[in-house]
Amino acid sequence: MGQDTRNRPERSQETEPSPTPDRERCALRVAVRTDQGRLRLRNEDAVLVDHERCVFAVADGMGGHPAGDVASRVAVEHLPALIASALGSPLDAVGATLPKAAPGDVDAALERALVELNDVILAEAAQDPDHVGMGTTVVLALFTGLTAHVAHVGDSRAYLFRPGELHQLTEDDSLANALIRGGVAPDDARHHPYAERLTQAVGTAGGIQPTVRGFELSAGDRLLLCSDGLTRMLVDARIGMILATEPDPEAASQALVDAANHAGGEDNISVVLIDVRDS
Ligand code: CA
């Protein structure tokens, strides 16, 4: 598997004249793909890859809603500034200053940033009758050293692949999961006619409750952020097999998209694959 030009910005970052020690610890190799799929007329997913601030995200504009592509794009455009503001850090210094913050402070800041993003989406929607009701999922990861702070709203997911095993880190904000938490048998909940309906998304008038958790990663781990266009087409075992057999993140992310398209490509497919390396 040959190197391609997409790796160049990463190399130039590594050769910055005087990187901060905290930046050096953020030794990540990131590959990203977003694909229309085979059936949808446009791609309503959006991705954020911000190496400088070690912030990565997938947003999935909700199908069947007006302006889903607008909502997901607004989300990824506003997230870096909202996160920096919630952390109280200057935008350029986020990556350098974050490790000094207590992990709980970072998690709380990410929650605040998503709650504020909800207000931003609602405000944008109010300005254009075509955008009323627009919404988007968000799954994001912010790295402080080797801690991945993972926040989400909706059914875009984060997975951890630790050689040999794939772990789903997020729990979909879906009706099925709400029923299961309420005591309904999992099999019954998953067969509910509206099992996959979202219980919240960014752009919800009544407010949102993001979920945020921190995970300690180590060299060799792979963190995958993805939209449901991947996870509805591929079972976890298939995703795990691709991650096990493709060590290069560019090749692995392309293989995930190709497999989802091969399985039908019924929805937009987005993946951000973050490999943690020895620094
Ligand atoms: Ca989708």
Can you give the pLDDT of all 279 residues of the chain as single tens digits?
333 433 333 333 333 333 343 444 458 999 999 999 999 989 999 999 998 889 999 999 985 566 889 999 999 999 999 999 998 865 555 555 555 667 788 999 999 999 999 999 999 999 988 888 899 999 999 998 889 999 999 999 999 999 889 999 999 999 999 999 999 999 999 999 999 999 999 998 999 999 999 999 999 999 999 999 999 999 999 999 999 999 999 999 999 999 999 999 999 999 999 999 876
C-alpha of residue 224 to centroid of ligand 1, in Å = 16
Top CATH class, 41-276? alpha beta
First to last CA, the chain: 22
Expressed in angstroms and rounded, the spacing between residue 109 Cα and the centre of ligand 1 is: 26
- Chain centroid to Cα 243, Å, comes to 17
Q: How far is CA 134 from CA 4, 72, 112, 126, in A?
A: 37, 9, 20, 10
pTM: 0.88
Q: CA 182, 185, 186, 191 torsion: positive or negative? A: negative
Helical axes 236-245 vs 249-262, angle rounded to 10°: 150
Structural domain boundaries in the chain: 41-276
Expressed in angstroms and rounded, the spacing between residue 232 Cα and the centre of ligand 1 is 9
Q: How far is the CA of 267 from the centre of ligand 1 (A)?
A: 6
230 alpha carbon – ligand 1 mean position (Å): 9
